């Protein structure tokens, strides 16, 4: 067929010498196509292969096939999946890895997959730990074992002191194996130590807020400077809390928080005092700060100094703690059921069980007929259940 087409084209090109190059191009492309078509192996649809050959769920198979890659060497994919299974990864974990990092299916197992797992094994990580770490962040398999994974794990081991703690923090933040920790975590720890922060407290924050230590040292210096400008005592155990809170927002966002407090009537000294007492309250959204403060300021005997002295009240849930408790208290006071006036902060800060025992359980009958039931809960037990579920 191809030769017949060429024969029909040749006479026409003989009559038009200027088109000889065009004929040569057509023939070359056609011959190349004909030649390659005959010799190439049929490609395999990745999604069908994963479902039919390895029992993958359709969702994971579709995700993997989104790379638009056909399997020309299924045996490579077979070897990767078999190796992961033999190493101790469960079917669920393997599917999670493929779903989040489908390129692993086409990786060279000897040069790209095994070396990463070997690092964990040689450092002494239990199988269950490194399997969990890699499943949580399969992009680890795409990072350099010598330049990223090994140095980072070594630094973390030196800082935290044990492999279980390293496993815990890496599962929480896989990016720790992406950064050069000698240029981020290590100098940041030294900065905090130079600010008189207790080393045990620093380690605790590495475990619970690892992303904070991935800031550049210059950024950390900036956060420290802003905290110091608020008059913070460096010997306070809240000092590192304040620095971490400061790191959670840009300078523009910080200014917006300050504006909210000022709009509510807080003076500059009020704001500094509140921040030194409970820096976490400044991590709340502007809407949350405004909503809680407006409710509190609408109560008798509550003013800005009161909120400053009890700034932790801003942290409570409006719908699950603040409103239900205030409504219960208002009902009990209106019916003169309380023998003495109870301090607001005591009512709002009490544990759920303590609040129920003191203010709800003894007055179930009296509370049943109030708007509390109609507006907020389906019955008085709903009041108790709502309070018990308060975070």
Res 135: pLDDT: 92
Distance CA 35, CA 27 (A): 12
Whether pLDDT at 390 is above 50: no
Which of the listed ranges 63-72, 138-147, 367-376 does the model predict with the highest average pLDDT? 138-147
CB-neighbour burial class of residue 21 (10 A; exposed 0-12, middle 13-18, buried 19+) = exposed
Q: Any idea which of 21-35, 98-112, 146-160, 242-256 has the lowest mean pLDDT? A: 21-35
Whether pLDDT at 68 is above 70: no
Whether pLDDT at 9 is above 80: no
Res 370: pLDDT: 56
Residues 6+ apart with CB under 8 A from 203: 159, 160, 161
Mean pLDDT calculated for residue range 21-27: 41
Read off the pTM: 0.75
Res 2: pLDDT: 42
Mean pLDDT calculated for residue range 253-267: 96
The domain locations on the chain are 2-39, 318-388
Distance CA 327, CA 165 (A): 45
Distance CA 104, CA 264 (A): 54
Res 302: pLDDT: 93
Whether pLDDT at 376 is above 80: no
Q: Would you say 296 and 266 are in contact if contact means Cβ atoms under 8 Å apart?
A: no
pLDDT band per the 50, 70, 90 thresholds, residue 4:
very low
Closest CA to 372 of 360, 362, 354: 360
103, 170, 254, 308 alpha-carbon torsion, rounded to 10°: 150
Q: Which tops the pLDDT comparison, 191 or 31?
A: 191
Whether pLDDT at 93 is above 70: yes
């Amino acid at each position: 067929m191809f030769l017949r087409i060429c024969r029909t084209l040749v006479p026409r090109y003989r009559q038009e010498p200027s088109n000889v190059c065009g004929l040569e191009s057509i023939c070359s492309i056609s011959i190349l196509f004909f030649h390659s078509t005959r010799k190439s192996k049929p490609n395999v649809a990745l999604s069908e292969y994963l479902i039919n050959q390895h029992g993958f769920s359709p969702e994971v198979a579709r995700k993997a096939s989104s790379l638009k890659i056909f399997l020309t060497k299924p045996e490579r994919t077979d070897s990767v999946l078999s190796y992961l299974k033999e190493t101790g990864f469960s079917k669920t974990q393997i599917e999670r890895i493929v779903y989040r990092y489908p390129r692993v299916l086409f990786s060279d197992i000897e040069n790209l997959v095994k070396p990463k797992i070997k690092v964990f094994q040689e450092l002494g990580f239990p199988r269950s730990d490194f399997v969990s770490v890699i499943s949580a962040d399969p992009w680890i398999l795409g990072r350099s074992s010598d330049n990223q994974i090994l140095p980072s794990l070594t630094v973390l081991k030196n800082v935290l002191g044990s492999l279980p703690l390293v496993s815990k923090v890496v599962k929480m933040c896989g990016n720790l194996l992406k950064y050069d920790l000698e240029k981020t975590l290590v100098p940041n720890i030294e900065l905090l130590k130079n600010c008189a922060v207790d080393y045990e407290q620093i380690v605790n924050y590495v475990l619970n807020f690892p992303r904070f230590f991935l800031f550049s040292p210059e950024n950390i210096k900036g956060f420290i400077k802003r905290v110091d400008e608020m008059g913070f005592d460096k010997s306070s155990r809240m000092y590192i809390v304040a620095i971490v809170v400061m790191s959670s927002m840009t300078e523009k966002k910080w200014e917006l928080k300050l504006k909210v407090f000022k709009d509510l009537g807080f003076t500059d000294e009020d704001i500094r005092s509140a921040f030194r007492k409970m820096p976490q309250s400044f991590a709340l959204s502007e809407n949350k700060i405004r909503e809680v403060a407006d409710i509190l300021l609408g109560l008798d005997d509550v003013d800005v100094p009161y909120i400053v002295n009890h700034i932790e009240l801003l942290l409570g849930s409006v719908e699950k703690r603040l409103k239900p408790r205030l409504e219960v208290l208002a009902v009990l006071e209106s019916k003169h059921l309380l023998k003495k006036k109870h301090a607001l902060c005591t009512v709002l800060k009490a544990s759920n069980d303590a609040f129920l025992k003191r203010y709800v359980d003894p007055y179930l009958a009296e509370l049943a007929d109030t708007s509390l039931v109609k507006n907020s809960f389906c019955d008085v037990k709903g009041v108790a259940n709502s309070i018990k579920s308060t975070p």
